[in-house]
Structure 1
Amino acid sequence: MGAVEPPTAEVRRAGATPAPAGARLSVCVVTYERPAFLERCLRALASQRAIDEVVVVDASARPQDALAAAALPAVRYVHAPQLAGWMTRSRNEALRWATGDLVAFVDDDVVVRPGWATALRAAFADAAVAAVAGRTCNGLPGEDVYGRPVGRLLDDGTLTDGFASLTPAPVEVDHGIGANMTFRRSVLAELGGFRDDYPGTALREDTDLFLRVGALGGRVVYEPRAAVDHRPAPHVRGARFDTRYKLYGRRNHVVLLARHAGASSPMLRRWIGGQLRSTLRAHGARRRLLRLGVTLAGIGWGLLALPGAAGLRPAPPCRVDPVGRELRAVLGG
């Protein structure tokens, strides 16, 4: 493959599979201390004939290359324990190893459905499509119907979702979900990979990448046929929607909006106002006070981060820092 192995990662490879005609598809999975979920994910990927390569970046303390190879013999396994707690940096590490023209990311706690990879390839048959958000099903009643536009950034700074909905055809969107997202390699190269300074559970780093694709003029579509089942694994630390999660969510959303629309934008002001008003909807004085505290702390944390993260005007979509330049060279070469 011609890649030079970085000194920070231990790589173990098995045999390669032949590439079909057309664009090559690499699938990247980042994982951390969830071996059972990783094994289940890889076994599902092994059944997809339209995949050319699977890259696993594992931040676990102990290597799980034997487990990964047993589930998917052709896996490219990268052991990078120094990336523990940095999911987005793990995703950028995967970009250093993926060789495909199309690069997909799936979470380790999803199971791809039959036809997932084929549907992705079909979506990218349109040369204007730069990124695809796949359908991510959670097994909830009624989730296949969504009453709002799917995947939009609204004028008030809020995001719509609907990524489990079964739309009759692909639809244009602003953003997608990190559990099931795919990009053209050329676009990832131009952008310089993910911005990896969204801390904590890395909330909004996926939205950030999609919005940057749109800022370059690329089409982003939601393809319901590229479906996965999301069977959430427990977090290594904390619960999925605990106070820590909410703090990071508000902090990262402030940074996201400031980068996309500018720190002085009405969109950011409208979103902050909406968040403060929402605290009044909590039941009981104690809950309202708690929600207000978390909201103020998260927003304040985000505002404090803005001098180093965003300016008064929208930020350029392409990374120009050393990591961005490195990833641009790796992906472009």
Structure 2
Amino acid sequence: MDEALRLSVCVVTYERETFLERCLAALAGELDEGAEVVVVDASKEDHARAARAVMPSATYVHAPGLAGWMTRSRNEALRHVRGEIVAFLDDDVVVRPGWQSALEAAFAIDAVAAVAGRTCNGLPGEERYDREIGRLLPDGTLTDGFAAEGSELVDVDHGIGANMSFRRSVLAELGGFRDDYPGTALREDTDIFLRVRALGARSVFAPAAVVDHRPAPHVRGARFDTRYKLYGRRNHMVLLAREAGIGSRTLWNWVGAQFRNVGSASGLRARVMRLAVTIVGVAWGAGAMLKDARWRPTPPRRRDRTGDELRRILSGVPA
């Protein structure tokens, strides 16, 4: 492994060539020679030429077979990284100056294993957040606050996938990402942070490692449409079942709250729609968790073929 290479930045993308180019252009102006960029593109067409026109040194992987599976694209990127810190950025973010130095400053603290950077969406008032940032609460809900301003590192339970980073050694121990959060991939980022926590390692929010999130349109559907809500309930149930166990009070308190929230919708039609989405989403999640989780918490380390392969690659062990 190149001892001078500190940081690997991974960008996974799908049918958003223009946004990828914008993301890479910002990185080209920010990163120093101690960093590399790995792009995994699940698009039907190969965009290597366009990507390298912006950043000639980037490693570009064309993987159309991974379309629709963000976490599988993330794991593909892990097969190519060389840095000791591995960062993941969405293709529709733009890093601000100082992002790399802020990230490396956070990892200079030996106990820090994972970092969630600040992700600004351009929403009024988002720089202020009155709740604890990045927490999994006893009722199974999550707090966010990842656009909040601040000058100090904040300990968190989970982070945001648009701007998240990990020690290579921790990713090796975990065996990479769990790659079975389908559809919108909602909760795949929360999952890996909670697995870092289950190892007994520390995750922090670094408000100085800033990106601007300038959302691209979804290739399929729209953000917060019915499809998004269904996958959200399905994936959240699997997440809680893995984190706390199928028999946990946290999981079933959250399920109960979903049905109680039906009454808060405005108007009969909206309540009927929310009830239908809740029934289908919870039923789908129940089936998935019976397959993918256990009665007690699921161990954080992947113990399957992909996990073992990624563990070997990230540990630098020859095949």
TM exceeding 0.5 = yes
> 1:167 corresponds to which letter in structure 2?
G
Query: Of 38, 45, 52, which residue of structure 1 is paired with 2:35?
Result: 52
Q: 1:20 Cα shift?
A: 8.7
User: 1 CA distance for matches of 2:253 and 2:269?
Assistant: 25
Contact 1:29 1:108 in 2 (8 A): yes
Change (3 A) 1:20 1:48: farther
The alignment status of 1:291 with 2:274, answered yes or no, reads yes
> What does the per-residue CA deviation read over 1:151-184, in whole Å, with 9 as the maximum and x for residues that have no partner?
0000000000000001231100000000000000
**Alpha carbons of 1:26 and 1:109: their partners in 2 closer, same or farther (altered >3 Å)?**
same
For residues 119 and 20 of structure 1, do their structure 2 counterparts lie closer, same or farther at Cα, with a shift above 3 Å needed? farther
Secondary structure of 1:30's aligned partner = strand
Shift in Å, 1:322: 0.6
1:1-333 aligned at under 5 Å gives the runs 24-50=6-32, 52-333=35-316
Aligned letter for 2:299?
P
Kindly report the root-mean-square deviation, in angstroms, between the aligned alpha carbons of the 2 structures: 1.1
For residue 253 of structure 1, report the CA deviation from its aligned partner.
0.2
CA distance in 2, matches of 1:110, 1:253: 24
Q: Which 10-residue stretch deviates more, 145-154 or 64-73?
A: 64-73
Partners of 1:20 and 1:52 within 8 A in 2: no
In the comparison of the two structures, how many residue pairs are matched? 315
Supply the distance in 2 between the matched residues of 1:182 and 1:266 (Cα, whole angstroms).
31
Q: What is the match of residue 4 of structure 1?
A: none
2:8–2:38 contact (8 Å) kept in structure 1: yes
Provide the identity percentage: 68
What TM-score do you get using the length of structure 1 for normalisation? 0.93
Whichever residue aligns with residue 245 of structure 2, its letter is G
Alpha-carbon distance in structure 1 between the residues aligned to 2:116 and 2:23:
18
| Over 4 Å off, 4+ runs | none
CA contact (8 A) 1:144 1:165 kept: yes
Aligned to 1:6: none
- AA of the residue aligned to 1:180: N
Q: C-alpha distance in 1, partners of 2:295/2:83?
A: 37
Uncovered stretches (5+) of structure 2, i.e. residues with no partner: none
Show structure 1 runs of 5+ residues with no match: 2-18
**SS in structure 1 at match of 2:30:** coil
Counterpart-to-counterpart distance in 2, 1:83 and 1:305: 21
Deviation at 1:188, TM superposition (A): 0.1
Normalising by structure 2, we get a TM-score of 0.97
Query: 1:307, CA displacement in angstroms?
Result: 2.2
Contact 2:237 2:286 in 1 (8 A): yes
